[in-house]
Amino acid sequence: MNVVILAAGQGKRMHSDLPKVLQPLAGRPLLAHVIDTASSLKPGVICIVYGYGGERVREVIARPGLVWARQEPQLGTGHALAQALPYLNPRTPTLVLYGDVPLIRAATLSSLCQKAGKGVALLTVELDDAHGYGRIIRSRGKIKRIVEEKDATRAERALREINTGIMVLPTARLKGWLAGLRNKNAQQEYYLTDVVAAAVADMVPVSSAQPAAAWETLGVNSKAQLAELERIFQRQTAAALMQHGVTLADPARIDVRGSLACGRDVSIDVNCVFEGEVVLGEGVSVGAHCVLKNVKVAAGTRIEPFCHLDQADIGARCRIGPYARLRPGTTLAEEVHIGNFVEVKASQIAARSKANHLAYVGDTTVGRDVNIGAGTITCNYDGANKHRTIIEDDVHIGSDTQLVAPVRVGKGATLGAGTTLTKDAPGGALTISRAKQVTVPGWRRPVKKK
């Protein structure tokens, strides 16, 4: 089979510099969703007709195996399909999809293709408000033609069965049908929909099929419709997660912009956002208002509310947050505790180590059973270069300590509170840098002069 995705339209009503088909749904361009669905049908050719936004669309989508046909100027959907024709295999049927109809499901398309056989098949739906769509004109039940809203008579406008735009066509016939299109209509466009009357005239059977759900065929013309489709998509994702056994505090308040794989008994509180590839192991719980991007979390770990985790690999039975920030390159072994207002970047932290309050751990290797006191800062940046800090096993670091990298703290060392460490601290000993505490006898507070 050939698939042609029409994606040359401008999308004026989006009021955006970003071409319509690149507007994101669940974090990915509308067109990428359509390409994914098309690919799942394993067609011989996927041809994208592009135009508005030009090379930018090609650059952003950039996937091997796609065929691109440029349509310039855009003279209508029939003219658009004609641009793809040279790239199609005439011996197999052609499925036409729209780049701005992202929720269409593969199962619906398969049954449409089956319906078509060697003829034409249209995906149609009945709408209470059919305004703006092409209407399906039947006579004694048989499809005769499609009339566009702007060309329709009042009686035709009253019809509720509409053309979704998705159709299957016999490719070998297309050349003749498309060459025969005329633009003598209200929009002075070459309508793809006019091939239906041509097929009927040529005695080619025209059938129709309906999608399992009407929302599959919704298109995006405005930001309001984009938001509506986003909600539908997220509701479907939430339903699939629950089907799989995930506990969602509220399926209406989760956003998955990528893939979220969950083990058994995972629970997710409200308003969490998952981006890229996220994997949550068995029994993981995620508190309210967390953002997880490209994160792996091993079994039994608890993520408290308000955490921001980006490109981190988190071990089993850890406790993260509330209000923790894990930045790219963070690896935590099992039973690590990262508490409130702690930021970790490009660091490896071994088993059972803790940084529970107000700390920055950057470019650091932390051993096991280490305790990092409140207010500890690794000073990893000298204004020009980044340097590493090594903290070996069983180290205790007192509060408000600065470790000026590059620096190493030996196994079992203790650093006194308030230390500014500029040289390596030997293992097994107390190292402290602190101004001596003095008390001035007889000192008086100044008093205000009268």
| Nearer to ligand UD1 (CB atom), residue 194 or residue 394 | 194
CA distances from 359 to 163, 213, 265, 415 (A): 60, 51, 32, 15
Chain centroid offset of residue 199 CA: 40
**Residue 85, token pair as written in the block:** 């024709």
Nearest residue (beta carbon) to ligand UD1: 134
Binding at 236: pick from ligand UD1, Ca ion, none (beta carbon under 5-8 Å per type):
none
CA distances from 336 to 34, 261, 313, 352 (A): 42, 22, 12, 5
Q: Which of 289, 308, 357, 396 is catalytic?
A: 357
**Shortest Å, Cβ 11 to ligand UD1:** 7
Nearest residue (beta carbon) to Ca ion: 219
Binding at 394: pick from ligand UD1, Ca ion, none (beta carbon under 5-8 Å per type):
none
3 lies in the binding site for ligand UD1 (CB under 6 A): no
**Shortest Å, Cβ 278 to ligand UD1:** 31
Query: Strand pairing of 45-50 and 135-139?
Result: unpaired
Interface with Ca ion in residues 202-231 (CB under 5 A): 219
71 lies in the binding site for ligand UD1 (CB under 6 A): yes
| Nearer to ligand UD1 (CB atom), residue 148 or residue 230 | 148
- With beta carbons less than 8 A apart as the criterion, state whether 22 and 102 touch: no
Helix (H) or strand (E) holding 172: helix 171-179
- With beta carbons less than 8 A apart as the criterion, state whether 103 and 28 touch: no
Residues 6+ apart with CB under 8 A from 201: none
Residues 6+ apart with CB under 8 A from 64: none
What is the residue whose two structure tokens read 């008086």?
A: 444
* Amino acid found at 94: T
| Nearer to ligand UD1 (CB atom), residue 30 or residue 312 | 30
219 lies in the binding site for ligand UD1 (CB under 6 A): yes
237 lies in the binding site for ligand UD1 (CB under 6 A): no
CA distances from 291 to 29, 272, 313 (A): 20, 6, 14
**Residue 429, token pair as written in the block:** 């000993």
134 lies in the binding site for ligand UD1 (CB under 6 A): yes
- Name the one range near ligand UD1 by CB under 6 A: 35-43, 186-194, 206-214, 288-296: 186-194
- Total residues at interface with ligand UD1 (CB under 6 A): 27
**Residue 10, token pair as written in the block:** 């401008």
| Nearer to ligand UD1 (CB atom), residue 165 or residue 170 | 165
Is 357 catalytic? The answer is yes
List 31, 69, 88, 191, residue binding ligand UD1 (CB under 6 A)? 191
Instruction: Mark 90-119 with x for binding to ligand UD1 (rule: CB under 6 A) and - for no binding.
Output: --------xxx-------------------
- With beta carbons less than 8 A apart as the criterion, state whether 336 and 351 touch: yes
Residues 6+ apart with CB under 8 A from 445: none
Residues 6+ apart with CB under 8 A from 257: 24, 26, 27, 28, 273, 274, 275, 276
| Nearer to ligand UD1 (CB atom), residue 167 or residue 425 | 167
| Nearer to ligand UD1 (CB atom), residue 156 or residue 334 | 156
**Residue 370, token pair as written in the block:** 């280490």
| Nearer to ligand UD1 (CB atom), residue 161 or residue 275 | 161
List 75, 316, 361, 370, residue binding ligand UD1 (CB under 6 A)? 75
- Total residues at interface with Ca ion (CB under 5 A): 1
- Give the interface with ligand UD1 as residue ranges (CB under 6 A): 6-9, 49, 71, 74-77, 79-80, 98-100, 133-134, 146, 148, 162-165, 191-193, 219
Report, as residue numbers or ranges, the catalytic residues: 357
- Give the interface with Ca ion as residue ranges (CB under 5 A): 219
